[in-house]
């Protein structure tokens, strides 16, 4: 499967943000494909935050996954809610997995960058 093959490549692109591995990537697929890929990436990271963005049917789809050990400090629902504003949408979810959508896929890059910014701000000592 493409998602499994890509997850290895993508996981190596994670950056260290205040001791937390953060991976942001624009990928292809719908919400369920993003969830599947995010689960694989979260497992590969072991400890971290995964934010994926995609354009599907002309709309933006965002998904944020946070490893359970970090959810006391970093909540996926909070991250995706803020990032969704940059694609003209809304979103939410659980502390470890959240999804959003919006009508403006042109804002995906900014939305993904916002997730990393928020992780940095939330975890700064």
Task: Check residue 2 and give its pLDDT.
Answer: 45
Task: Check residue 1 and give its pLDDT.
Answer: 36
18-33: pLDDT as tens digits: 999 999 999 999 999 9
The residue ranking higher by pLDDT, 50 or 8, is 50
The residue ranking higher by pLDDT, 47 or 8, is 47
Task: Check residue 25 and give its pLDDT.
Answer: 96
First to last CA, the chain: 40
Total structural domains within the chain: 1
How far apart, in whole angstroms, are the C-alpha atoms of residue 98 and residue 91? Answer: 7
pTM of the model: 0.93
Please report, for residues 27, 33, 107, 110, the alpha-carbon distance to residue 85 in angstroms, rounded to integers and kept in the order given: 19, 22, 9, 10
56: CATH: 3.10.310.40
Q: Write out the residue range of the structural domain in which residue 102 sits.
A: 2-123
- How many Cβ atoms from other residues are within 10 Å of residue 35's Cβ? 16
Three-class DSSP labels, the chain: CHHHHHHHHHHCCCEEECCEEEEEEECCCCHHHHHHHHHHHHHHHCCEEEEEEEEECCEEEEEEEECHHHCCCCCHHHHHHHHHHHHCCEEEECCCEEEEEECCHHHHHHHHHHHHHHHHHHHCC
């Amino acid at each position: 499967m493409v998602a499994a093959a890509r997850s290895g490549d993508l996981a190596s692109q994670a950056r260290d943000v205040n001791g937390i591995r953060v991976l942001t990537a624009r990928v292809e697929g719908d919400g369920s494909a993003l969830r599947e890929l995010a689960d694989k990436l979260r497992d590969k990271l072991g400890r971290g935050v995964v934010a994926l963005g995609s354009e599907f049917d002309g709309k933006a789809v965002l998904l944020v996954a946070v490893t359970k050990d970090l959810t006391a400090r970093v909540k996926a629902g909070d991250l995706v809610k803020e990032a969704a504003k940059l694609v003209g949408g809304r979103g939410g979810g659980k502390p470890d997995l959240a999804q959003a959508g919006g009508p403006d896929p042109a804002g995906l890059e900014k939305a993904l960058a916002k997730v990393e910014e928020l992780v940095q701000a939330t975890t700064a000592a």
